[in-house]
Each structure stands twice: as C-alpha cells, then as structure tokens.
Amino acid sequence: MEFNKSYTQYWESAIQKSVDGTVIAGLNEADHFLSPLGLSYSDRILDLGCSTGRMSGVLTRYSKAVYGAEPDSYAVSKALAQPYQEVRQGTAEATGYPDGFFDFVFCWAVFDVVDHVDGLSEINRILKEGCHFLITCKADSYDLEDVLAFKAEKNAFLKGFPNKFTNLAQLCRQIGIFGFELTDLVTFPHRGDMGLLNYKRQPIGECPHEAVIEGYEYLMVAKKISTPGGLQKDFSAPLDGRFSATAKTLAMRAGHASVKEYFESIGID
C-alpha cells in the first residue's frame, strides 16, 4: 500500500470516527506523556510521520521549533499550513534532516509501518546525544481475548494495509545496540485503551530472554547514549513482524498452517 493522498484522507476521517468505535489517541493523550519530559521551549522537535499536522497543536505548546517529516506529498502540503518551522518529504528511515539536529523526536502512530532497525538507526543519527525519542506502536503479544485487536489485525491484512508488530521484550533487550537507553515504557492492554489513557507502566531494567511483554499498543521513551565505536549492526533477532504472536497462536489453535490462511478463511468483517 502506498502512503498517498487517499491514505491521508482515510486517516483524516479515521481520527474523526474510528471504524470500530474505539477512541483514537490524540492531542490530550500525547500531552499526558509529553508534560513530564522536561522539554525546553527552545528544543528542536521532529514530528516524524506528521501527516497533515494534527499533532502540531500539542507539540507547539512545548517548543517554538517544531519540524515535520512525512512521505506523502499531499499531507506535506497540508502540514505546511500548520505552525512548523519546516516540513520535509521524508520517512522515518530517511528523514532528510542533518546529523544531531534534534533535541526530541516524536513519532506517534507511525512506527507500525516503519522498518524498526532502519527507523531506530535514523532516529539515532538525527538526535543529539542525551536527547530522547518517544514512539508509539503495536506490540505483538496482545490478549488472546482481545476481539477488536484481532479483527483490526485481520482486516488490515486482508485490505493490504501495512502493519508491523513489535516484539517488545526483544526491543527492550536490544535497545542499547541502537545507541539508546530506555527511560519509560507503558503498555495499553487492549485495543482502544490508548485513547482512554488506560495503561500499565512497565519496569525498566534487565529484560530476561524468555520474557514476553503483553499489551496491544505501547509507548516508549528512550535517551540517546554515547556509542564511541559507532552503532553495531548485529541484531540477534527480528524486532518486528508482519503478524502478531497472538494471531499466530490463534491460527495454530484453529488448525491453520499460517495466519494468512486463517485470516482468509474468516474474511473481512
């Protein structure tokens, strides 16, 4: 699927009214997580995957220097009407901004279409040392009983929407490889919980290798740390997958050889 005008128009309507009645997290929810971060009004902030600029309304409360990056040219043209310093046509994997340019990278409802390794490497490149990013994304181990989450995953797949689910425990274990230290991690247990600010704060620390972190969505804040030898590119296990671990379990339990086969047997509803 292409990120173009028709996707942007779909997103503009979805934020007014989601397809399944869940509340889409927006400015108030972002504000809740931005306010404790101690941002300074002179900080350069990047709204990564800014679409038409919905989040500029909250980000400009924290900084007079908010920038945007967005792949869709139609969305960029609309975002330019918002109070950004500049909006570049770019992606999370290749933003087009210089090294060490930003004091904070904000990436809301975007990382689930971003290649995690390339995206985290690019965020590391454009951030100053000691500065933070905040991302939100979908986790791959949601509750087996979360019918809305399952339906959203299935329908998105059958409609050809891109989707990536993060192996969250794996990301926590590997975050240092990308030159970051985790400073906050919250999970939203079920689909819709993010818009209701119903979340669980996860302990930050050594994540055991067999650990699974449950939740449908998550919000992560991490700080760029010094990596004197440069970033390693030795990633021991995939960080993201096309299908959630939950869908794989449900497909197996239903006797299907693959998630694709299972989803196709149910169809879009």
Ligand X SMILES: C[S@@+](CC[C@H](N)C(=O)[O-])C[C@H]1O[C@@H](n2cnc3c(N)ncnc32)[C@H](O)[C@@H]1O
For residue 71, state whether it binds ligand X (rule: CB under 6 A).
yes
Three-state DSSP at 154 gives helix
List binders of ligand X among 34-63 (CB under 6 A): 48-51, 54-55
CA distances from 68 to 34, 44, 52, 124, 156 (A): 17, 11, 10, 17, 26
Beta strands in 117-268 (DSSP E): 127-139, 165-166, 180-188, 200-201, 217-224, 240-241
User: Given candidates 46, 59, 105, 113, which one binds ligand X under the rule CB under 6 A?
Assistant: 113
Q: Is 109 a residue that touches ligand X (CB under 6 A)? A: yes
Question: Please, which residue, 46 or 259, has the CB nearer to ligand X?
Answer: 46
- Of 9, 5, 32, 11, residue with least CA distance to 196: 32
Whose Cβ is closer to ligand X: residue 71's or residue 215's?
A: 71
Select 113 or 139, whichever has its Cβ closest to ligand X.
Answer: 113
Contact range with ligand X by CB under 6 A, out of 64-72, 165-173, 196-204, 235-243: 64-72
Q: For residue 139, state whether it binds ligand X (rule: CB under 6 A).
A: no
Query: Which residue number, 114 or 222, has a Cβ lying nearer to ligand X?
Result: 114
Alpha-carbon distance of 52 to 62, in angstroms, equals: 19
Closest distance between ligand X and the C-beta of residue 91, in Å?
4
Among 3, 104, 216, 263, binds ligand X (CB under 6 A): 3
Cα–Cα dist 65/245, whole Å: 40
* Cβ neighbours of residue 230 closer than 8 Å, sequence gap 6 or more: none
Q: Which stretches of the chain bind ligand X, using CB under 6 A? A: 3, 7-8, 11, 48-51, 54-55, 70-72, 75, 91-93, 108-110, 113-114
